[in-house]
Amino acid sequence: MKEKLIDLFQYTDHFNQQMIKLISENLSKVDEKTISLINHTLNAQQIWNSRILGETSFEVWQLSPFEDLEQINHQNYLKSVAIVENYDLDKRIEYQNSKGSKFENSIFEMLFQAVNHSTYHRGQINSLLKQNGIEPLLTDYIFYKR
């Protein structure tokens, strides 16, 4: 199970990198929503990692300097993999969401949410890129595995 979860984080890292690169190459054509969504995608993974690790997290819609996104993505990847390798994935963690509501989920559920959430938002970003005349990336998991 841990190997499969690490594979999903490698997939997430790979296509986040590719998306950041594509946006960077087309900065003059992308809109604010695209920039906001790529930041949000990275922020969410950082937030889930931080909830598990008990660290301070980003804000959900925080905007980081665009030139920092590659490093944020890389740090997210390293922390997610370290969690998979060093924690009991069945352990339940209590946390508060951005609105202050309290919840409890297993580490596996929290990490899978991070992967699934990023996939969802990369799809949204691809739609926005296409609307702005930029060829979207093929980011399906199966393309990654081919």
Summarize the annotated binding site as residue ranges: 40, 117, 121
Q: What is residue 66's predicted lDDT score, i.e. its pLDDT?
A: 97
Helices (H), the chain: 2-25, 32-53, 69-86, 107-131, 141-145
Summarize the annotated binding site for a divalent metal cation as residue ranges: 40, 117, 121
39 neighbors 69 (Cβ within 8 angstroms): yes
The mean pLDDT of 108-112, rounded to a whole number, is: 98
Write the pLDDT tens digit of every residue in 16-62. Answer: 999 999 999 999 999 999 999 999 999 999 999 999 999 999 999 99
The mean pLDDT of 69-79, rounded to a whole number, is: 98
CATH for the stretch 2-145: 1.20.120.450
Q: What is residue 16's predicted lDDT score, i.e. its pLDDT?
A: 98
Token pair in block for residue 52: 């598990």
Three-state DSSP state, 68: helix
Q: Is the pTM of this model over 0.75?
A: yes
Write the pLDDT tens digit of every residue in 76-103. Answer: 999 999 999 999 999 999 999 989 999 9
Q: What is residue 2's predicted lDDT score, i.e. its pLDDT?
A: 97
Tell me the one-letter amino acid at 29.
Answer: K
Three-state DSSP state, 95: strand
